[in-house]
Amino acid sequence: MIETIAQIGCIESGGKYREAIDQFIENPGYPHCIHILLQRGSDGAFAWKGCEVEEQKSDFRKYLFRSGSSRGVNYSPTAKITTVENTYQQKVLGWFKKMCKVNRNDFFRGIQKVLEKEKDRILQELQSKLALSSERTILSLKVDGSYLYDIPEFRDAFLFLINEKDLELSASNQVCSICGQRKDTVIGKMSVFRFYTLDKPGFITGGLDEEKAWRNYPVCLSCKSYIEEGRRFIEENLRFQFYGFSYLLIPKPIVPVAEDDGFAEVLEYLSSHKKGVRIHQKQIESFMTTEEDVMDMLKDMKNVVSIQLLFLQKIQSAERILLLIEDVLPSRISELFKAKSYVEQHLYAEGNHSFHFGFIRTFFHNSYDKYFLHIIESVFKKRSLSISFLAKFIMEQLRKELPAYQSGEPSFFYKTRQAIAIIVFLEQAGVLPVKGGTAMSEKFGALFEKYGKQLDTPEKKAVFLLGSLTQMLLDIQQNKYGSKPFLKQLMGLKMDERAVKGLLPKVINKLEEYESYHFIHKQLAEEISTLFLFSSSRWKMSVDELNFYFACGMNLVSKVRESLMAKEEA
C-alpha cells in the first residue's frame, strides 16, 4: 500500500526526477516580496546592504517558503508579514536562533549576528517599503544576490526541519525499501502515517534494539516526500464518508507504472469526477453512500487497476487502521452492482428505493462496528458469511420494532424488507452460500427460487409460509377491528420449534372463527402441513434464524398470495 501511495505522489508531483525539496515548498500566494539584502565579505562576515521589493512571479520556489505553526518559526526565514516587528522577531530572527541551537553553523551565526545588530535600521526600512504599497507581502532574504532556494545551507536546513522528527531514527548508506536504491540517508520512522509506531517491542527488528528499527521499513527522503504528496492527493480527492466511518480509496496499478502511463489518467479521472458526483448525483447509482459514489465510476473500468479501501480512525494525533481491503478489481465491483440491480428489481420494483450498504448498517449500528466492517470486507473480497450470524443481529432490530407494528407503524415492515434485501444481495454477490434443498413445492417453486434460496429444508419453507398465513390473519383482524391481537401469539418473535408447530392450528381456528378460511388459506395451510410432515425430527435452526424466516414470510405475503392466485387461475 505504501509503495502505491509513493507512486501516486510521484505522478502528482510531476515525475520521478523532481527534487525532493520541491514537494514541500508552498506558494505563499502574496503578490510582493521584500528581501533583506546581505553580502558576505572576504573575512566571512556578513553586512546588511538594504532592502528591496520585488513582484512575486510564477517561480515561488525561490523563496523556499513553507509555513510552520502560528506561534513558532517556519521551515525557512521566509514568512508572510503580519506586523513587521513581530514577523521579523518571531519568524526571521527566531528561525536563526533555532538553527544555531541545533546546528552550530558559522554561516547562520554570522547572519544572526548582523540581523540582531542592524535590527532597528532594518525594521525602519521595512516599514518605509511597506508604506508604499497596500498589497500583501512576504519577507525573505537574499545573500550575495542569491535566493534562499539557491543557497545549499538554507536548502539543507529546510529539509532538516521538514524531516526533523523522522531523522531521529535513521541510517546512512542503506537501500530504500520503496525505490530499491542505495541512498545516503534512510529513515525508519515516518510521520506521514501515524499508525506505524515503535513504542512496542514487537514492532522492532534487530534484536528489539530501537536504534536498529530503521530495518523494519527503510525509506529515503525522496520517497518519503512522494509518500507525503501521495497522501495529500488521496486525502483531498479520494477520502469518502461511509456510515460513520471515513475511508481512503487508493487505486493501485496492476501493471508497473513505468510500463503503463494509463495510471495517471485513472488518477485524473477519479479526482476530477469526485466533484461531479455531488453535482450530478441523481445520474449515478448509489452504492457506498447516497451522496458520493465513486464505485459507480470504477465498475466499468477494465482490470488495469485494483482498489484498496483504507478505513482509518483518528485518535488525537494518532491513527488506527480499522480495516484495509486490498486488491478489489473493477470486475468485482461490477458483480456487486449486478447484485444490487437484482435486489432493486425484485424487491423494490416501484423504483423508489435504491439498495446500498446503509441497509446493512441499519442492523449493525455503532455498537457493532467490528461486525459491520467484517461484512463489508466479506462483500468486497467474496468471503462467505453465514445466515445464522446475520439472523442474530437482524432479529434484534425486528423485535424492537414489533410492538409498534401493533399500532400500525410501518417500521417493522420496512426493516424486514431491508433484511430480505440484504440476504438476497449477499446471495447474488456470492457471499452467502446457497445450499439448495429438495424441490417439494410446485406452487411456490418460482417464489423460493427468487427469494428463498436459504430455505433449503422443508421446515424452513414451512416456517416461511406460516409467516405469510399468519400475516393474512393479521390483515383480516386489522381490517375488521383496527388492531392485530393475534400478534401476542408470536411471543415477540422468540418462538422455538414447538411454539411454531403449535401456531398453525391457532391460525386456522381464528380464520374459521372470522369465517375467513377461504380456498387460498386452505391451500396454504395444506402446503405448510405437508412440509411439517417431511421436516426433520430435530430442526437445525437457531431461534433467531427460525423467527427470521417467519418474519420474511410475513413481509412477502403479497408474493405468496400471487403464487396461490396464479396456481388457482392455471
In DSSP terms, which residues pair with 143 in a beta bridge?
A: 38, 146
> What pLDDT sits at residue 439?
56
> What pLDDT sits at residue 387?
94
Q: In residues, how long is the chain?
A: 570
Residue owning grid cell 502528482: 12
> What pLDDT sits at residue 277?
35
> What pLDDT sits at residue 316?
75
What does the block give as the cell for 60?
515561488
Edge to edge, what strands does the sheet with 305-315 contain?
239-242, 245-253, 305-315, 318-328
Q: How many helices, marked H, and strands, marked E, lie in the chain?
A: 20, 11
Helices (H), 280-329: 295-298
> What pLDDT sits at residue 437?
56
> What pLDDT sits at residue 78?
96
> What pLDDT sits at residue 292?
45
> What pLDDT sits at residue 271?
78
> What pLDDT sits at residue 501?
94
Nearest CA among 330, 310, 325 for reference residue 245: 310
Task: Judge whether 182 and 174 are in contact, CB under 8 Å.
Answer: yes
State the 10-residue block means of pLDDT for the chain, 570 residues long: 87 63 86 94 92 88 91 93 93 93 84 94 93 89 95 89 78 87 82 58 51 74 85 89 89 69 79 47 48 64 84 81 91 91 85 84 93 96 95 97 89 96 95 72 80 89 96 94 92 96 96 93 95 90 96 95 75
DSSP state at residue 68: -
Residue owning grid cell 434485501: 421
> What pLDDT sits at residue 299?
72
Q: Which residues make Cβ contacts (< 8 Å) with residue 92, sequence separation at least 6?
A: 36, 77, 79, 115, 139, 141
Nearest CA among 489, 438, 483 for reference residue 466: 489
The pTM of this model reads 0.77
d(CA 10, CA 569): 69
